[in-house]
Amino acid sequence: MKIVKEGVVCRESGVGEKSAACDIRYSAQDYPSASDTRHPKRDTRSFDTRPPTPNVRFKTLLATAFLLAATTLSAQDIVIRDATILTITHGKIEHGSILIHGGKIAAVGANDRVTAPANATVIDAAGKFVMPGIIDTHSHTAVEGSVNEISLPNSGMVRIGDVLNNEDIDVYRQLVGGTTTALILHGSANPIGGQSQIVKWKWGHPVSEWPIADAPRTIKFALGENPKSSNFRPPPGIPAQYPQTRMGVEEVIRQSFTDAKDYLARWDDYDARKKRGENPIPPRRDLLMETMADILRGKIDVHSHCYRADEIMMLLNLSDEQGFKIRELQHVLEGYKVAKEIAAHGVGGGTFIDWWGFKAEAADAIPYNVALMTRAGVLTSVNSDSGELARHLNQDAAKAMKYGGLSEEEALKLCTLNGAKQLRLDHRLGSIDTGKDADLVIWTGHPLSAYSRVETTFVDGEIVFDRQRDLAARAQMATEKKDRLKKEADDEAKNKKSGRPGKSDDEAKPEVTNE
């Protein structure tokens, strides 16, 4: 990519790399609750008192340099000039331009309709394509440790947002594939899992800057083999965790909502007695029941792992019975069998285009599932559930044109606007429209072609991946690696000659500790 400013051609440099030893940092975000006025908030401070390792110090310096360079550019107005723009919502613009100002799309249209402000950075994108950032509605990337709190059938009180790691190299690799936004989900070991987190992949930024401020709260449900532990049995003498059957999975979900309604009734009774001037003892606060109550209030969106048609219908019927809303069915490989029922409930579906047969409940999966659900009126997206697949969701979207005959625009929506709607963020994401976030991707060719690759990825108007910068940084890092290896060899030779233990000069320095 060439960046042209005031007639000068310049190239950026920088790259992401994962070290073998990561300095783990945790970040927490407090979520609003209906009971926040009654109870103190959870302590969400982050603590890390360990000294950084040399590898981490190097990564920190690299990320800081990358961030400073990107922030300098993002603070300026940027114009992407002379590209083929795939707007998603209002067709294709040949020889079009996009003005980015303050992290937002300030203008989009034909070249002669978009004026570059004075001192704006102009990116020449002639012969290239621009589309919105890809949205992955099923990710487990950047989760530090296990994605499952497996100890209880309902672990809705835990939060994935508390254990995100900004050093996961898969984040950078997904930016290379054009993915800019993800729903990071709890695992599927429980009928009701933990609360999930919607983020933007802001590589080089602290984890605290990843969550989208006005994104809805979400939670993971799961049906089928995983929550009933079909593929895991404890060793002899260790009792199996409940549930162990599909009917047990249904009972866990039903009982959890029954308990939540009782919990709400106790608080309603307490509030009523307070209004009458009494001095009652408040009910005991329960974080799990607060979560379930917020689902009933419509303050938390349910995304449910599922495969089989009978289980899909069970959950739809149970939502009617208990009065909660399902936002999206995840995987939903047999969705084509009950697509009309899913559409009638206003539930979306996020699926794989051609994964099948990898376990018993995936045996009836077909590649036409996406097209059949779309034709039935189901808001459908393709998602990854994989750090690797998230790098080429554009290709999964393209397959829907072959398997089911979706149009180019319908296929593009599968990995952009439809996911934004499922996350209730289509007012900000998913298309190239004035006023939306400047999450944009420049491609060498049409993004639905397997021969195209990403040149540049923007998140909130900031360049978070640039191919030329990446290539330049590879050479720099190769040189540094060579220099470090030479220094290590020289130190070892020097120590061997002097009879000292074989420590390098860096390793021989006093250890820094924190009390």
Give residue-wise pLDDT tens across range 186-221.
999 999 999 999 999 999 999 999 999 999 999 999
The stretch 367-394 carries a mean pLDDT of 97
Phi, psi values for residue 236, rounded to 5°: -55, 135
According to DSSP, the residues that pair with 370 across neighbouring strands are none
Lowest mean pLDDT of 28-32, 139-143, 415-419, name the range.
28-32
The stretch 436-442 carries a mean pLDDT of 98
Q: What is the pLDDT of residue 27?
A: 37
Q: What is the pLDDT of residue 231?
A: 82
Report the topology of domain 1-33+55-133+430-475. Urease, subunit C; domain 1 (2.30.40)
| Rounded Cα distance, 233 and 215, in Å | 38
Residue 449 pLDDT exceeds 50? yes
CB 315, CB 192: distance < 8 Å = no
CA nearest neighbour of 156 among 47, 259, 264: 259
Measured CA distances, 422 to 231, 291, 511 (Å):
30, 20, 50
CB 179, CB 386: distance < 8 Å = no
Tell which wins on pLDDT, 510 or 363: 363
| Rounded Cα distance, 185 and 199, in Å | 11
Confidence of residue 25 (pLDDT cuts 50, 70, 90): very low
Lowest mean pLDDT of 7-11, 83-87, 293-297, 448-452, name the range.
7-11
1-33+55-133+430-475 and 134-428 in the same fold: no
**How many C-beta atoms lie closer than 10 Å to residue 433's C-beta?**
16
Pairing of strands 129-132, 78-86: parallel
pTM of the model: 0.82
CB 17, CB 204: distance < 8 Å = no
Pairing of strands 134-139, 78-86: unpaired
Confidence of residue 506 (pLDDT cuts 50, 70, 90): low
Residue 32 pLDDT exceeds 60? no
- The mean of the pLDDT values for the chain is 87
R_g (Cα) of the chain, nearest Å: 26
| Rounded Cα distance, 332 and 374, in Å | 13
Residue 367 pLDDT exceeds 50? yes
Q: What is the pLDDT of residues 401-438, one digit of tens each?
A: 999 999 999 999 999 999 999 999 999 999 999 999 99
Q: What is the pLDDT of residue 496?
A: 87
Q: What is the pLDDT of residue 307?
A: 98
The stretch 350-374 carries a mean pLDDT of 96
Residue 54 pLDDT exceeds 90? no
Q: What is the pLDDT of residue 499?
A: 75
Pairing of strands 129-132, 440-443: antiparallel
Joined together, the tokens standing for residue 320 give 């009617």
Residue 56 pLDDT exceeds 80? no
Q: What is the pLDDT of residue 5?
A: 37
Q: What angle do CA 363, 367, 372 make, to 5 degrees?
A: 110
Q: What is the pLDDT of residue 232?
A: 81
Residue 279 pLDDT exceeds 70? yes
CA nearest neighbour of 304 among 140, 142, 188: 188
Residue 350 pLDDT exceeds 60? yes
Q: What is the pLDDT of residue 235?
A: 83
| Rounded Cα distance, 460 and 201, in Å | 10
Residue 17 pLDDT exceeds 50? no
CB 295, CB 219: distance < 8 Å = yes
Confidence of residue 53 (pLDDT cuts 50, 70, 90): very low
The stretch 437-441 carries a mean pLDDT of 98
Note the CATH architecture for domain 134-428: Alpha-Beta Barrel (3.20)
**b/e 259-270 (16+ beta carbons within 10 angstroms → b):** bbeebbeebeeb
32, 33, 38, 40 alpha-carbon torsion, rounded to 10° = -50
According to DSSP, the residues that pair with 85 across neighbouring strands are 93, 130
| Rounded Cα distance, 388 and 394, in Å | 13
The stretch 140-156 carries a mean pLDDT of 95
Q: Prior bond to 243 cis, omega within 30?
A: yes
Q: What is the pLDDT of residue 241?
A: 87
- Give the burial class of 472: count Cβ atoms within 10 A of its Cβ; 0-12 exposed, 13-18 middle, 19 or more buried: middle
Question: Where do the domains of the chain lie?
Answer: 1-33+55-133+430-475, 134-428
DSSP H helical ranges for 43-123: 54-74
The stretch 487-501 carries a mean pLDDT of 85
Tell which wins on pLDDT, 392 or 25: 392
Confidence of residue 182 (pLDDT cuts 50, 70, 90): very high
According to DSSP, the residues that pair with 346 across neighbouring strands are none
The stretch 494-506 carries a mean pLDDT of 69
Q: What is the pLDDT of residue 70?
A: 52
Residue 174 pLDDT exceeds 50? yes
DSSP state of 255: H
Tell which wins on pLDDT, 44 or 296: 296
The percent of residues in the chain predicted with pLDDT above 70, rounded, is: 82
